[in-house]
């Protein structure tokens, strides 16, 4: 296979290996081009106009995307990949940055049998419970940034989120499958599909319209499994039911942990004190003790149909709260409460303004009052090298 990317030819490049296994999905293969770049090549049956148009759109937006999101945690498509000739019909995929040394998040998830996270090359666990929780928050931060840019992941599964052990941060891949503006999602993971979305899809004749809410549910499923070592819908019942049957019914292990047996009996099932259930319950207690906000988020999502991001549970003073995302995106990382206190101090220092008599309006109407720019505006302008004096001169 002769692959042409940005004028360079690659003949039969090797598949990317992760833990000795070829990295591939249902729609394509991941190939290693060089030390810094990979290519995703769609299977012939998946090469259609929807994908071609989307590849061109995403590659065209590569520079604006990395300017806005950075290059550490997102694998945005960079250049279209052609097979044999550079005709439109021969667009077969794209190139993207190579995040070397990363692991699928499912490969570093908690091992319920061992009672710990798997060991890194030094023999120590990849995570403590506290550091695992911090990774979960970071994943939600990455997703929140995408949502602000009208990018819906849609296809959420453990293979689309990597862990970079060198940088100790998550990486989101397979962004070509996302729902971006008018370009529809081109892949979907049923195991983590929002049951609310499923019901809406049936009412709409089978059409699926992904949203930020469905992303929150899917990410919640992935990170629950990462921390717990099992699906949120893993539970031994009598009569038995599979996880894929429990998910649409809103039956989750955390719901039983909080509410007890009553809701299960109403569905004709009984909780079984099986060793697996006992281990999961013990792990849930650890989660509750480690981070109550995260525990409550999982309960709201899987038991009460909550679909708000975990970040909204944080205090507004926390810079990760979505109300502060304006200050985070351009690199302005100033404490929310400090800004609020500074503004209150400025207001307190202002002298009261005497009312202007009607007879004085004529005399003061031509006076120009100069007010200092708000501190946030000054920081924003400085961040992007803007100068109002030259802009408006």
Where does the pLDDT of residue 200 fall: very low under 50, low under 70, confident under 90, or very high at 90 and above? Answer: confident
In this predicted structure, the answer to whether residue 323 has a pLDDT above a threshold of 90 is no
Cβ distance 82 to 2 under 8 Å?
A: no
Rounded to 5 degrees, what angle do the CA atoms 210, 211, 215 make?
90
**In the predicted model, what is the mean pLDDT of residues 125-143?**
97
365 vs 214: CA distance, rounded Å: 55
**In the predicted model, what is the mean pLDDT of residues 369-388?**
63
Where does the pLDDT of residue 376 fall: very low under 50, low under 70, confident under 90, or very high at 90 and above? Answer: low
Cβ distance 62 to 68 under 8 Å?
A: no
Least confidently predicted of 11-25, 46-60, 94-108, 110-124: 11-25
In terms of Cβ atoms closer than 10 Å to its own Cβ (0-12, 13-18, 19+), residue 181 is exposed
362 vs 133: CA distance, rounded Å: 63
Name the CA radius of gyration of the chain, rounded: 26
- Mapping DSSP onto H, E and C, the string for 152-205 reads ECCCCCHHHEEEECCCCEEEECCHHHCEECCECCCCCCHHHCCHHHHHHHHHCC
Cβ distance 2 to 11 under 8 Å?
A: yes
**Closest of 236, 154, 228 to residue 190, by C-alpha:** 154
Token code pair at residue 163: 């862990």
pLDDT of residue 131: 97
Token code pair at residue 153: 């992941």
Cβ distance 93 to 69 under 8 Å?
A: no
Backbone phi and psi for residue 34, each to the nearest 5 degrees, phi listed first:
-160, -165
In this predicted structure, the answer to whether residue 373 has a pLDDT above a threshold of 50 is yes
CATH superfamily, domain at 101-313: Transferase(Phosphotransferase) domain 1 (1.10.510.10)
The residues spanned by each domain of the chain are: 1-100, 101-313, 322-391
Model confidence pLDDT, tens digit, residues 88-119: 999 999 999 999 889 999 999 999 999 999 99
86 vs 130: CA distance, rounded Å: 49
Least confidently predicted of 8-22, 80-94, 214-228, 333-347: 333-347
Long-range contacts for 106-109 (Cβ within 8 Å, ≥24 apart)? 106/158, 106/159, 106/225, 106/226, 107/18, 107/19, 108/163, 108/226, 109/158, 109/225, 109/226, 109/227, 109/229
240 vs 270: CA distance, rounded Å: 9
In this predicted structure, the answer to whether residue 347 has a pLDDT above a threshold of 90 is no
Mean pLDDT of the chain: 86
**CA-CA-CA-CA torsion sign (23, 27, 32, 36):** negative
Percent of the chain with pLDDT over 70: 79
Cβ distance 74 to 161 under 8 Å?
A: no
């Amino acid at each position: 296979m002769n692959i042409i990317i940005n004028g360079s030819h690659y003949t039969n490049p090797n598949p990317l290996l992760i833990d000795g296994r070829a990295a591939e999905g249902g729609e394509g293969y991941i190939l290693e081009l060089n030390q810094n770049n990979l290519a995703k090549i769609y299977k012939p049956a998946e090469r259609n106009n929807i994908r071609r148009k989307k590849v061109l759109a995403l590659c065209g937006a590569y520079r604006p995307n990395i300017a806005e999101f950075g290059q550490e945690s997102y694998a945005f498509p960079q250049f279209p990949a052609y097979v044999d000739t550079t005709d439109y019909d021969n667009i077969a995929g794209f190139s993207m940055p190579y995040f070397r040394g990363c692991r699928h998040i499912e490969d570093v998830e908690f091992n319920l049998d061992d009672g710990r996270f798997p060991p890194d090359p030094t023999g120590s666990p990849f995570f403590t419970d506290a550091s695992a929780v911090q990774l979960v928050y970071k994943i939600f931060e990455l997703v929140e940034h995408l949502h602000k840019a009208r990018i819906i992941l849609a296809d959420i599964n453990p293979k689309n989120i990597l862990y970079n052990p060198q940088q100790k941060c998550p990486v989101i891949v397979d962004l070509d499958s996302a729902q971006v503006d008018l370009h529809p999602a081109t892949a979907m993971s049923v195991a983590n599909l929002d049951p609310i979305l499923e019901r809406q899809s049936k009412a709409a004749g089978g059409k699926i319209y992904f949203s930020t809410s469905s992303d929150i549910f899917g990410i919640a499923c992935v990170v629950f499994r990462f921390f717990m070592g099992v699906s949120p819908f893993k539970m031994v019942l009598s009569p038995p039911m599979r996880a894929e049957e429990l998910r649409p019914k809103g039956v989750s292990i955390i719901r039983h942990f909080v509410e007890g047996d009553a809701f299960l009996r109403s569905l004709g099932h009984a909780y079984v004190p099986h060793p697996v259930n006992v281990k999961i319950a013990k792990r849930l207690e650890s989660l509750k003790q480690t981070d109550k906000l995260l525990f409550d988020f999982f309960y709201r999502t899987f038991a009460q149909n909550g679909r708000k991001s975990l970040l909204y549970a944080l205090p507004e003073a926390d810079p990760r709260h979505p109300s502060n995302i304006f200050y985070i995106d351009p690199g302005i990382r100033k404490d929310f409460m400090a800004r609020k206190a500074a503004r209150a101090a400025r207001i307190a220092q202002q002298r009261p303004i005497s009312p202007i008599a009607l007879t004085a309006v004529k005399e003061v109407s031509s006076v120009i009052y100069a007010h200092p720019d708000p501190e946030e505006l000054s920081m924003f302008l400085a961040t992007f090298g803007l100068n109002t004096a030259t802009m408006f001169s």
